[in-house]
Amino acid sequence: MAAVKNNVTTVKNVTADPSALGLLGLALVTIVASSSKLGWTSGVSFILPWAILLGGLGQLFASVIDFKKDNIFGATAFGGYGLFWLAVAVGWMMNLGIFGEAAAKTADPKQLGFAFIGYLIFSVFMTIGSMETNKVLFIIFVLIDLLFIGLALSTFGIAPHSSHKLAAWSELLISLFSFYGSGAVVLNTHFGREFLPIGKPFGIFKK
pLDDT digits (tens, 9 = 90+) for 181-205: 999 999 999 999 999 999 999 999 8
pTM comes to 0.91
Backbone angles phi, psi at 97, to 5 degrees: 85, 10
> What is the average pLDDT across 61-88?
97
Cβ–Cβ < 8 Å for 205, 132: yes
Pairwise CA distance, residues 58 & 52, whole Å: 8
Walk me through the domains of the chain, giving residue ranges and CATH numbers: 18-191 (1.25.40)
Cβ–Cβ < 8 Å for 10, 3: yes
Which amino acid, residue 165?
K
Q: How many CB atoms lie within 10 A of CB 199?
A: 13
| DSSP code of residue 10 | E
Give the E-state strand segments of the chain in sequence order: 2-5, 8-11
Pairwise CA distance, residues 18 & 58, whole Å: 10
Q: How confident is the model at residue 104 (pLDDT cuts 50, 70, 90)?
A: confident
> What is the average pLDDT across 118-139?
97
Cβ–Cβ < 8 Å for 49, 85: no
Cβ neighbors of 21 (< 8 A, separation 6 or more) are 58, 61, 62, 182
> What is the average pLDDT across 50-69?
97
> What is the average pLDDT across 139-148?
98
- DSSP reduced 3-state for 207: coil
Q: Please report the pLDDT score of residue 4 as a whole number.
A: 55
> What is the average pLDDT across 56-82?
97
HSE of 88, CA atoms in CB hemisphere, 13 A: 27
Pairwise CA distance, residues 152 & 148, whole Å: 6
Pairwise CA distance, residues 39 & 166, whole Å: 13
pLDDT in tens, 145-184: 999 999 999 999 999 999 999 999 999 999 999 999 999 9
Cβ–Cβ < 8 Å for 116, 147: no
Q: What element of type H or E holds 99?
A: none
